[in-house]
């Protein structure tokens, strides 16, 4: 988890939707999400699937499209596809195959992309999302198919030249296609965030949007409420942040409605989001699927997925984000908001749960959300690099909860462990932060002071509240300022009333 991820842990906020200005209209949004898989090797050859910076160094005859070479399917890709399908409630096709999708582009030397067409490996699933009012809506998933990525064209900023880097060619992708069931920018974000956590929970994708490892195309159309047919859709291509996708959708809703209201017609096309001017711009008219001349890939055999295999994969499915949120609320007493933030990041969730397992205090979550996240952000480090392990945090919170140190001391210990990685109990001794400490110790002192000041006790009991300060002062003196004021006051009140 990078520090960047931490700062983006924003809650999906209730936002104004542009649709509120057009009560007669509704919007239909379908998502096509490309998920770059983190398999060891590429989809049809044994080249490494790691990102390689030096152009054209991580390629072979197969992924660079030499004629006469034969692809061999990576079994891990099938496994990941089935995992994704099961996690999104899809049916798994018992027999499926690849197809060739033809188009010409310099970063695709074969002249076709090997993908799946009319028989994708997963079909007809759904992903539940949480709406603003807390209710659940299922977004239907039309299909999940496997395919290869293309290379990259790089256009020089300094000359009229363009370059082709094929390192990315043959990287395995899943394309997850939803039905146009999404009806606002808010729902789009909820859907994407949910899918994003799922692929990270399944450990099949890094989820990194800036690198394009998780990228979404948005199909969007508007229509008058009650209309039977969907409106003409536009496709918003490859927008690499949840925020930009929301902004682009809001803009596009208004553009399409204005066009219709002014007697125009929406053209089916692909549009880009111009982040600088905050508007969508036309890129090209959209090809129909007929233009691709799909046909079955003759160089790859049929893929059979047995019930036995599906059962085996199902048994390896981890707990998914929604289930985790429910459990964190029920078993660990987190609020909905806390649970959502924690569950959004699997590393953070494990951190919290490990710490809570050692010392089950309600305060653990506060320290994780406030201090640990703050620390990661300040130091620009990941949880793995953080010297405050779940064990150390648990110990620290325990020392605080039991009155061994006070709040200020706890902060000091926290900072010291963050730097040195020492154990909390050692830091406390070294810094002399130990309060005379346990509740029992303070109790003893409180009793002594009450016993040796009967006059003031009598005054207090007769209603002279201000002598309370005298007792607090005496206790602090005895404790050399190390006692927790809250505990002292509580104990004084308790014994003065007897
Ligand atoms: Zn290769």
Question: Separation of 267 CA from ligand 1 center, angstroms?
Answer: 39
- pLDDT score for 432: 81
- The 10s digit of each residue's pLDDT in 51-80 is 888 999 999 999 999 999 999 999 999 999
Q: Where are the domains of the chain?
A: 8-314, 321-431, 439-496
Give the contacts of 311 (CB within 8 A, at least 6 positions apart): none
| More confident call, 3 vs 144 | 144
Q: Does the pLDDT at position 2 exceed 50? A: no
359 CA to centre of own chain: 26
Element (H or E) spanning 215, and its range?
strand 214-224
Question: Separation of 292 CA from ligand 1 center, angstroms?
Answer: 24
Question: Separation of 48 CA from ligand 1 center, angstroms?
Answer: 8
Q: Which residue in the block uniquely carries the two structure tokens 């033809």? A: 102
**Quick one: tokens of 141?**
């998933």
Largest CA distance in the chain: 104
451 CA to centre of own chain: 59
Question: Separation of 421 CA from ligand 1 center, angstroms?
Answer: 44
CB 167 within 8 A of CB 151: yes
- pLDDT score for 4: 39
Question: Separation of 41 CA from ligand 1 center, angstroms?
Answer: 8
Rounded-to-integer distance, Cα 203 and Cα 37, Å? 9
Question: Separation of 59 CA from ligand 1 center, angstroms?
Answer: 4
Question: Separation of 46 CA from ligand 1 center, angstroms?
Answer: 6
What is the pLDDT averaged over residues 322-326?
93
Q: Does the pLDDT at position 14 exceed 60? A: no
Question: Separation of 129 CA from ligand 1 center, angstroms?
Answer: 38
For 340, the 3-state DSSP assignment is helix
| More confident call, 363 vs 13 | 363
- pLDDT score for 437: 59
Q: Does the pLDDT at position 463 exceed 90? A: no
Rounded-to-integer distance, Cα 469 and Cα 475, Å? 10
Confirm whether pTM is higher than 0.85: no
Question: Separation of 316 CA from ligand 1 center, angstroms?
Answer: 29
Give the contacts of 488 (CB within 8 A, at least 6 positions apart): 442, 446, 472, 475, 476, 479
**Quick one: tokens of 362?**
């309600």
Rounded-to-integer distance, Cα 141 and Cα 181, Å? 9
Question: Separation of 284 CA from ligand 1 center, angstroms?
Answer: 31
For 256, the 3-state DSSP assignment is helix
Question: Separation of 166 CA from ligand 1 center, angstroms?
Answer: 9
Residues with CB under 5 A from ligand 1 (ion): 45, 47, 60, 62-63
What separation in angstroms does the CA of 338 have from each of 125, 329, 370? Answer: 29, 9, 11
CB 441 within 8 A of CB 465: no
Rounded-to-integer distance, Cα 196 and Cα 240, Å? 12
Q: Does the pLDDT at position 435 exceed 70? A: no
Question: Separation of 148 CA from ligand 1 center, angstroms?
Answer: 11
Question: Separation of 298 CA from ligand 1 center, angstroms?
Answer: 19
- The 10s digit of each residue's pLDDT in 179-196 is 999 999 999 999 999 999
Question: Separation of 438 CA from ligand 1 center, angstroms?
Answer: 65
pLDDT band with cut points at 50, 70 and 90 for residue 16: confident
pLDDT band with cut points at 50, 70 and 90 for residue 3: very low
Rounded-to-integer distance, Cα 250 and Cα 186, Å? 10
Question: Separation of 310 CA from ligand 1 center, angstroms?
Answer: 29
Q: Which residue in the block uniquely carries the two structure tokens 């001017």? A: 277
- pLDDT score for 143: 98
CATH number of 439-496: 1.10.10.410
Among candidates 288, 292, 295, 293, which has minimal Cα distance to 99?
295
Question: Separation of 39 CA from ligand 1 center, angstroms?
Answer: 13
What is the pLDDT averaged over residues 13-18?
70
């Amino acid at each position: 988890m990078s520090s960047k991820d931490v700062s983006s842990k924003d809650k999906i906020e209730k936002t104004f939707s542009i649709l509120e200005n057009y009560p007669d209209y509704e919007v239909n949004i379908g998502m096509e999400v490309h998920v770059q898989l983190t398999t060891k090797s590429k989809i049809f050859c044994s080249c490494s699937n790691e990102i390689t910076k030096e152009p054209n160094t991580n390629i072979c005859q197969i992924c660079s499209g030499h004629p006469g070479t034969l692809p061999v399917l990576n079994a891990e890709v099938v496994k990941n596809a089935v995992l994704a399908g099961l996690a999104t409630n899809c049916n798994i096709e018992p027999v499926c195959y690849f197809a060739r999708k033809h188009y010409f582009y310099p970063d695709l030397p074969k002249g076709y992309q090997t993908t799946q067409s009319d028989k994708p490996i997963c079909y007809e699933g759904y992903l539940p999302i949480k709406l603003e009012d807390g209710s659940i809506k299922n977004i239907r998933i039309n299909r999940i198919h496997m395919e290869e990525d293309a290379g990259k064209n790089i256009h020089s900023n300094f000359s009229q030249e363009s370059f082709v880097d094929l390192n990315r060619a043959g990287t395995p992708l899943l394309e997850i296609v939803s039905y146009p069931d999404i009806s606002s920018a808010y729902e789009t974000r909820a859907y994407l965030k949910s899918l994003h956590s799922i692929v990270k929970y399944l450990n099949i994708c890094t989820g990194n949007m800036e690198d394009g490892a998780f990228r979404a195309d948005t199909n969007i159309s508007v229509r008058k409420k009650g209309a039977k047919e969907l409106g003409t859709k536009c496709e918003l291509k490859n927008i690499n942040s949840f925020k930009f996708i929301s902004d682009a959708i809001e803009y596009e809703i208004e553009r399409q409605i204005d066009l219709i209201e002014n007697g125009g017609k929406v053209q089916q096309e692909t549009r880009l989001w111009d982040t600088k001017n905050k508007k969508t711009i036309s890129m090209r008219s959209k090809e129909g699927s007929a233009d691709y001349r799909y046909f079955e890939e003759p160089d790859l055999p049929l893929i059979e997925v047995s019930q036995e295999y599906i059962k085996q994969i199902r048994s390896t499915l981890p707990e998914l984000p929604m289930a985790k949120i429910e459990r964190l609320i029920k078993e660990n007493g987190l609020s909905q908001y806390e649970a959502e933030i924690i569950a959004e990041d699997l590393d953070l969730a494990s951190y919290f749960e490990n710490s809570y397992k050692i010392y089950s205090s309600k305060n653990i979550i506060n320290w994780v959300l406030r201090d640990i996240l703050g620390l990661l952000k300040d130091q620009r480090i990941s949880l793995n690099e953080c010297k405050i392990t779940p064990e150390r945090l648990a110990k620290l919170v325990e020392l605080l909860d039991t009155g061994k140190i006070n709040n200020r001391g706890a902060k000091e210990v926290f900072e010291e462990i963050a730097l040195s990685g020492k154990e909390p109990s050692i830091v406390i001794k070294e810094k002399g932060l130990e309060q005379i400490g346990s509740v029992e110790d303070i109790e003893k002192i409180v009793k002594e002071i009450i016993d040796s000041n009967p006059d003031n006790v009598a005054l207090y009991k007769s209603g002279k509240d201000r002598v309370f300060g005298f007792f607090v002062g005496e206790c602090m003196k005895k404790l050399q300022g190390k006692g927790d004021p809250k505990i002292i006051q509580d104990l004084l009140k308790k014994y003065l009333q007897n």
